[in-house]
């Protein structure tokens, strides 16, 4: 029996021009290239220029994904932007992107699940495409995390970067087997008991300010590997696939040690792991589509490949998806 699946038509990304190296950071706060590389795997990150907005980065990634898919923006009827760093409190940054693309139909909205935002966005769009209300969607992750960092706090400012990535998805009829193209399964979790371990100390209804990112890094780290492997095992159970069946593992890029730890625990071979954390740092909701874009462009991810995505972040939130390209 045929089923509707959300099939990936194209991917794209954008990185701001300015590259901030570990050596430059070491000149500003008490850190070193050696500490950052050893503890995180990060060597550099990109930083948005003054006046460069989340909307600008998301728009550039969206245009690149539309070009890659070879489709016209007018055929898009749904835009979901995952971000924790919107241009304004409202309206949603997604509507700015929608307007800049010249789209005056369909729906556009922002979704906030911090570093898990892209997986939450994919799952949301998948549901909306499969129920038939929409035909073609852009799922974008775009972040200007440099604007919410405390640049005097070495425990956080070395970890994050700016950027954007996007996927174009289309509702397509597929045979209804696990060999189908498209999103095969997605699993989302959150547990607000951990909300004070990774948060921003400002907000509209509390302080009336934007605030700065605060994190108990070690606590997040401890939770991450167990949570990630748990939700991925749910994805395996739902499809009958195992770690051996995966062609590419594209995790949220927070820390090389978390990525390697999760891959090892799950039995995913190191050569199947797509890692961009060294070049991009942690770009929160943008990290997965940025990494996908790199691996599609360099020819690793190809049509028919089985791709495993996962993320974990503030809330805590976490999730995983299995997608056949
Ligand atoms: O995307 C959302 C999810 N976020 C994450 O996944 C981040 C998860 N956490 C992490 O990646 C790691 O916990 C960190 C990279 C943030 C920290 O690594 P760690 O191995 O957990 O180090 P730590 O926090 O236990 O700190 C070890 C030491 C401390 O010094 P003392 O107390 O041992 O003297 C820190 O003060 O390293 C110190 N330290 C630094 N030293 C140099 C912390 N940050 C720095 C720094 N440079 N930038």
Task: Kindly tell me if the per-residue pLDDT of 74 is higher than 90.
Answer: yes
Pocket lining: 272 vs ligand 1, CB cutoff 6 Å: no
CA–chain centroid gap for 142, Å, is 8
How far lies 299's CA from each of 139, 261, 293, in Å? 21, 25, 10
Domain architecture of the chain: domains with CATH: 3-174 (3.40.47.10), 182-324 (3.40.47.10)
* Residue 90: strand, helix, or coil: coil
**Which residue is catalytic, options 22, 187, 280, 282?**
282
Give me the helices (H) in 70-216, please: 93-100, 117-130, 154-157
| The two three-digit tokens of residue 291, written as one number | 């990494």
**CB proximity list for 303: less than 8 A, separation 6 or greater:** 181, 325
Query: Is ligand 1 within 6 A of the CB of residue 282?
Result: yes
What digits encode the pLDDT tens for the residues 218-267? Answer: 999 999 999 999 999 999 999 999 999 999 999 999 999 999 999 999 99
274 alpha carbon – ligand 1 mean position (Å) = 23
CA distance 64 to 237: 34
Nearest atom in ligand 1 to 287's CA: 1
* pLDDT per position as a tens digit, 17-28: 999 999 999 999
CB 161 within 8 A of CB 47: yes
- Does residue 282 carry a catalytic annotation? yes
252 tagged catalytic? yes
Let me know the angle formed at the C-alpha of 250 by 285 and 5, rounded to the nearest 5 degrees. Answer: 85
Examine the pLDDT at 1 and tell me if it is beyond 90: no
Write out pLDDT tens, residues 181-197.
999 999 999 999 999 99
Residue 282 CA to ligand 1 centre (angstroms): 14
The best mutation among 27, 28, 34, 39 to test binding of ligand 1, ranked by most ligand atoms within 8 Å of the C-beta, falls on: 39
Going by their DSSP bridges, the two strands 3-14 and 78-82 should be labelled as unpaired
Q: Is the pLDDT of residue 2 over 90?
A: yes
**115 catalytic residue (yes or no):** yes
Output the average pLDDT for the chain. 98
Residue 139 has pLDDT above 90, yes or no: yes
- Predicted confidence band of residue 65 (pLDDT cuts 50, 70, 90): very high
154 lines ligand 1 (CB under 6 A): yes
Judged against a pLDDT cut of 90, whether residue 78 lies above it is answered with yes
Q: How many other C-beta atoms lie within 10 A of the C-beta of residue 242? A: 12
pLDDT at position 29, please?
Answer: 98
Q: How far does residue 156's CA lie from ligand 1's centre (Å)?
A: 8
For the entire predicted model, the pTM comes to 0.98
Give CA 123 to chain center in angstroms: 12
Q: How far apart are CA 276 and CA 202, in angstroms?
A: 30
Ligand 1 lined by 259 (C-beta under 6 Å): no
**Half-sphere exposure (CA, 13 Å, Cβ side) for 13?**
24
Q: Is the CB of 157 under 6 A from ligand 1?
A: no
């Amino acid at each position: 029996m045929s089923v509707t699946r959300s099939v990936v038509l194209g991917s794209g990304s954008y990185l701001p021009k300015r590259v901030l190296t570990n050596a430059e950071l070491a000149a500003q706060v008490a850190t070193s290239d050696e500490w950052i590389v050893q503890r995180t795997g990060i060597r550099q990150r990109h930083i948005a220029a003054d006046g460069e907005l989340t909307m600008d980065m998301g728009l550039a990634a969206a245009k690149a994904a539309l070009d890659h898919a070879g489709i016209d923006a007018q055929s898009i009827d749904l835009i979901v932007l995952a971000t924790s760093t919107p241009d304004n409190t409202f309206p949603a940054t997604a509507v700015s992107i929608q307007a800049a693309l010249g789209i005056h139909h369909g729906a556009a909205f922002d979704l906030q699940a911090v570093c898990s935002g892209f997986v939450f966005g994919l799952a949301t769009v998948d549901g909306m495409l499969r129920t038939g209300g929409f035909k073609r969607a852009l799922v974008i992750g775009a972040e200007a995390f440099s604007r919410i960092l405390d640049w005097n706090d070495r425990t956080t400012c070395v970890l994050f970067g700016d950027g954007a990535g996007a996927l174009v998805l289309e509702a397509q009829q597929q045979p209804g087997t696990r060999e189908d193209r498209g999103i095969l399964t997605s699993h989302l979790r959150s547990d607000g008991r951990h909300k004070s371990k990774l948060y921003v100390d400002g907000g509209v209804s509390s302080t009336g300010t934007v605030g700065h990112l605060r994190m108990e890094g070690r606590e997040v780290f401890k939770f991450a590997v167990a949570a990630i492997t748990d939700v991925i095992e749910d994805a395996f159970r739902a499809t009958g696939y195992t770690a051996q069946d995966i062609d590419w593992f594209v995790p949220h890029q927070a820390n090389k040690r978390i990525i390697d730890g999760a891959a090892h625990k799950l039995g995913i071979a190191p050569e199947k792991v797509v890692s961009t954390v060294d070049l991009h740092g942690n770009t929160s909701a943008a990290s997965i589509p940025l990494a996908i874009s790199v691996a599609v462009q360099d020819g690793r991810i190809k049509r028919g490949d089985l791709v495993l995505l996962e993320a974990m972040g503030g809330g805590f939130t976490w999730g995983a998806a299995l997608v056949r390209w």
